[in-house]
Structure 1
Amino acid sequence: MTPPDSASPRPAVVIYSGGMDSYTVLHRALRDGYAVHALSFHYGQRHARELDVASQVCERHGIPHQVVDIRAIHSLIGNSALTDSAREMPKADYAEDNLADTVVPNRNMILLSLAIGHAVNIDASICFYGAHCGDHVLYPDCRPAFVERMNEVAAIANFSPVTIEAPYLHSDKATILADGLEMGLDYADTWTCYLGKEKACGECGSCRERLAAFAALGVSDPLPYDH
């Protein structure tokens, strides 16, 4: 996708959770000259603290931002450790056999459908989200085949076609982090842990992947951890 002319920036929707990946995608879109409209969703996630982080970042940088409350559908997609606090959160690296309980059914299709609708509503022709290759082993809605099919649908679902861009689809977490650090980003302005406590747990799959990325680059993670 060719970035817009800086003299007349085109609007773009960024699905912005408040985590590392979407934070980097958000700033990459800003760097490339898009007029960003950030869109966050409260779907009943236990780590809803990420939404507060997202709101603070957008307010600080003057980025138009909406937090959409879709908790009414919780009973339809609540069969996950990410949305059911009664379940124990798996403490392991990402793998299909030990973190399947963190899959939220159809989450990205739902969020992308709403984001595409918002894009059409504001005359934006592009929608960004932060899928990356580290998610491919576990999350079907972060895989290239999903993005390809969703793009096919997004091209015909409305009179105004929308392109879905996942700029880190084939990149790992360390590559995303390296790109963000090169842009001068402060990852203290992100929340990754699947538990929304005062400190990150350091043990869930999301924390472990984040810590591994910082370790791979020889950089200290600015977030405080319980473990």
Structure 2
Amino acid sequence: MKTIVICSGGLDSVSLAHKIAAEHELLALVSFDYGQRHRKELDFAADCAKRLGVPHHVIDIRPIGAHLTGSALTDDIDVPDGHYAEETMRSTVVPNRNAIMLTIAFGLAAAQQADAVAIAVHGGDHFIYPDCRPGFIDSFNAMQAHALEGYADVTLFAPYVTVSKAAIVTDAVKYGTPFGETWSCYKGGLRHCGRCGTCVERREAFHLAGVTDPTDYEDPDFWVAATHAFAAQEVR
């Protein structure tokens, strides 16, 4: 299956890129610059493409991102600290982000005669992000079947959509994913903050998976209190 992977440079998408490279035919990585404050993640995506020996396409959609206002990821709004399932994390939603990115990626895939576009949405995203849920994935797949009918046959591949981030870490170990060469923090500082929702989820995932976390956090212990009120299971 000739596949293009949407890769932000984060743990999930880099893990997916390594998985696809091992199990299928990885054609390219595609990343999007939408004006995110943590744009440094794109450097990690570029490194991943170089490591896997495939092209890296960076699509500049900053003019579009400038109109998707109200998100802590793009506007002058503080990124909230805490658990990724907390209501405050809604401020990190970028409206219709995945739908926009996937539409462009499907056009690229059709032009390059790819069989699939792969995206690393997962079960932990379901709390806050509607465009990461199974219903969205299924509906987008159906829509693209009509959009490309008679021209190309491209499938949306989302192997993590029903599993946890901890399960991704467990799976990624099999493919030698270099976890230290990924970027998650929404604040985009010199180090992972350890306090934003995605840092908390990252730290928790390694703990639940029983895998050593190589990440250097400014606050390495905040996740314990942040996850205390939320039930999660160790991966066994």
Give the TM-score range, shorter chain.
Answer: over 0.9
1:112 paired with 2:102, answer yes
Deviation at 1:23, TM superposition (A): 0.8
Following the alignment from structure 1 to structure 2, what is the Cα–Cα distance between the partners of residues 188 and 36?
A: 24
Give the aligned partner of residue 188 of structure 2.
196
State the one-letter code of the partner of 1:121.
A
Give the aligned partner of residue 175 of structure 1.
167
Give the aligned partner of residue 71 of structure 1.
62
Deviation at 1:183, TM superposition (A): 1.7
Deviation at 1:187, TM superposition (A): 0.2
Following the alignment from structure 1 to structure 2, what is the Cα–Cα distance between the partners of residues 60 and 95?
A: 33
Give the aligned partner of residue 80 of structure 2.
90
Q: Deviations over 1:155-199 (max 9, x none)?
A: 110221311010000110000000001222210110000011110
Following the alignment from structure 1 to structure 2, what is the Cα–Cα distance between the partners of residues 216 and 59?
A: 30
1:137 paired with 2:105, answer no
Following the alignment from structure 2 to structure 1, what is the Cα–Cα distance between the partners of residues 83 and 211?
A: 20
Determine if contact 1:43/1:70 at 8 Å carries over to the other structure: yes
1:29 paired with 2:9, answer no
Deviation at 1:88, TM superposition (A): 1.0
Determine if contact 1:26/1:36 at 8 Å carries over to the other structure: no
Give the aligned partner of residue 54 of structure 1.
45
1:102 paired with 2:79, answer no
1:128 paired with 2:118, answer yes
% identical aligned pairs: 43
Following the alignment from structure 2 to structure 1, what is the Cα–Cα distance between the partners of residues 85 and 208?
A: 19
Q: Deviations over 1:4-34 (max 9, x none)?
A: 4xxxxxx311101000111111111111131
The runs of at least 4 aligned residues of structure 1 exceeding 6 Å deviation read none
Following the alignment from structure 1 to structure 2, what is the Cα–Cα distance between the partners of residues 121 and 222?
A: 38
Give the aligned partner of residue 16 of structure 1.
7
Deviation at 1:91, TM superposition (A): 0.4
Call closer, same or farther: CA 1:125–1:219 in 2, change over 3 Å: closer
Give the secondary structure class of the aligned counterpart of 1:123. Answer: coil
Determine if contact 2:32/2:58 at 8 Å carries over to the other structure: yes
Following the alignment from structure 2 to structure 1, what is the Cα–Cα distance between the partners of residues 122 and 24?
A: 22
1:184 paired with 2:158, answer no
Structure 1: tracts of 5 or more residues without a match = 5-10
Number of residues of Structure 1 aligned to a counterpart in Structure 2: 217
Report which stretch shifted further, 101-110 or 91-100. Answer: 91-100
Give the secondary structure class of the aligned counterpart of 2:110. Answer: helix
Using structure 2 for the length normalisation, give the TM-score: 0.89
Structure 2: tracts of 5 or more residues without a match = 220-236
Using structure 1 for the length normalisation, give the TM-score: 0.92
Determine if contact 2:38/2:186 at 8 Å carries over to the other structure: yes
Give the aligned partner of residue 7 of structure 1.
none
Determine if contact 1:13/1:119 at 8 Å carries over to the other structure: yes
1:150-165 equivalence runs, <5 A:
150-158=140-148, 159-165=151-157
Report which stretch shifted further, 193-202 or 59-68. Answer: 59-68
- Aligned-CA RMSD value: 1.1
Give the aligned partner of residue 8 of structure 1.
none
State the one-letter code of the partner of 2:39.
A
